[in-house]
């Protein structure tokens, strides 16, 4: 059995234990039974439908060769190079340049790029980003990543719920105290769950494999440098509302305020670029990430920067 399937099974078992324990704490034996039923339902949903939930959470719209010929055609070309089944291709209407992949297997997968990414990056840079996402699919990272996002989000929502009400009835005042105490523990635990499930090394591995797929590590290095700059300027409202999904993206979409730092699962971008530059040297590709970047007007949005360059630069 692939290691990611084992890791996913452990995540689902851990969720069941957490919910049953919470049910016992707040509702006694009846609470345990109800929590166990809820956990089973969540486990089934997380395994089969977590990718759909994440795509809906970000308002992603599926595109085809007819509706987005250049973007879809680029993914199609990279898929052939990666020797993968064709994933579903999505666009999320978000000004922050970013992208992610999801799905329980290569034959049931999807890639999604933001409108900000398609507007801000050149065709080569978009190719580097999408090759990285296809590498996650090829490495079978997406199942664990998506289930971790779903479960982390579910625990965070439970923590928020417990701040305002009691579960399964019981003494209101006493239950409220228990709920408040549990909420304080659950929010950071959700972050810990995500971090345990998602190793930072997976990003380096996807960077490396994606570079081999696209044939030029510097395209991805340039894209990472550009996305990192924009990510600090342009907030991703959906990601801020669901920080447990942040690890899905190629660059951390969070601003780093409040609870955001708890969900930090990305390695340092400068370190990733340095590794890509080493790989480029090994492959005989010249240049540095900065040499691919165009001069930027301070405060310019991706759309403003790209308006004079056409759809792909």
For the annotated catalytic residues, the residue numbers are 133
The single residue listed with the structure tokens 């049910």 is: 23
Residue 159 sits at the vertex; the CA angle it makes with 18 and 95, to the nearest 5 degrees, is 115
Distance CA 56, CA 128 (A): 25
Residues 34, 35, 40, 46: is their CA dihedral positive or negative? positive
Distance CA 120, CA 310 (A): 10
Q: Residue 37 to residues 30, 127, 131, 272: CA-CA distances in angstroms?
A: 11, 44, 40, 43
CB-based contact 74:130 (threshold 8 Å): yes
Q: CB 129: neighbour CB atoms within 10 A?
A: 27
Residue count of the chain: 313
DSSP strand pairing (61-63 vs 108-114)? unpaired
Q: H/E element holding 161?
A: helix 142-162
Cα–Cα distance, 195 to 210 (Å, whole number): 23
Rounded-to-integer distance, Cα 23 and Cα 39, Å: 10
Q: Tell me whether strands 99-105 and 61-63 are parallel, antiparallel or unpaired.
A: unpaired
Sheet holding 88-92, edge to edge: 61-63, 88-92, 108-114, 99-105
Secondary structure class of 138 (helix, strand, coil) = helix
- Residues 14, 193: contact at Cβ < 8 Å? yes
Torsion angle in degrees (nearest 10) through CA of 53, 54, 57, 59: -100
């Amino acid at each position: 059995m692939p290691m990611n399937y084992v890791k996913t099974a452990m995540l689902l078992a851990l969720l069941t234990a957490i919910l049953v324990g919470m049910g016992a704490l707040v509702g006694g034996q009846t609470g345990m039974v109800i929590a166990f039923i809820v956990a089973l339902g969540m486990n089934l949903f997380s395994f089969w439908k977590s990718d759909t939930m994440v795509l809906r959470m970000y308002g992603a719209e599926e595109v085809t060769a007819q509706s987005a010929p250049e973007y879809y055609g680029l993914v199609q070309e990279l898929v052939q190079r990666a020797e993968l089944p064709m994933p579903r291709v999505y666009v999320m209407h978000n000004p922050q340049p970013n992208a992610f992949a999801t799905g329980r297997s290569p034959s049931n997968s999807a890639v999604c790029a933001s409108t900000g990414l398609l507007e801000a990056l050149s065709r080569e840079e978009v190719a580097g980003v999408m090759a990285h996402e296809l590498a996650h699919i090829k490495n079978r990272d997406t199942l664990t990543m998506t289930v971790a996002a779903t479960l982390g989000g579910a625990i965070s929502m439970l923590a928020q719920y417990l701040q305002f009400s009691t579960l399964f009835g019981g003494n209101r005042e006493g239950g409220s105290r228990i709920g408040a105490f549990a909420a304080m523990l659950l929010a950071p635990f959700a972050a810990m769950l995500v971090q345990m499930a998602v190793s930072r090394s997976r990003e380096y591995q996807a960077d490396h494999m994606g570079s081999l797929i696209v044939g030029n590590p510097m395209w991805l290095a340039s894209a990472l440098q550009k996305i990192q700059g924009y990510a600090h300027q342009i907030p991703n409202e959906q990601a801020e509302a669901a920080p447990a999904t942040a690890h899905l993206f190629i660059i951390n979409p969070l601003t780093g305020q409040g609870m955001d730092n708890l969900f930090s699962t990305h390695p340092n971008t400068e370190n990733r670029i340095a590794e890509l530059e080493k790989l480029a040297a090994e492959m005989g590709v010249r240049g540095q990430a900065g040499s691919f970047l165009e001069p930027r007007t301070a405060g310019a949005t991706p759309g403003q920067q790209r308006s004079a360059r056409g759809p792909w630069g």
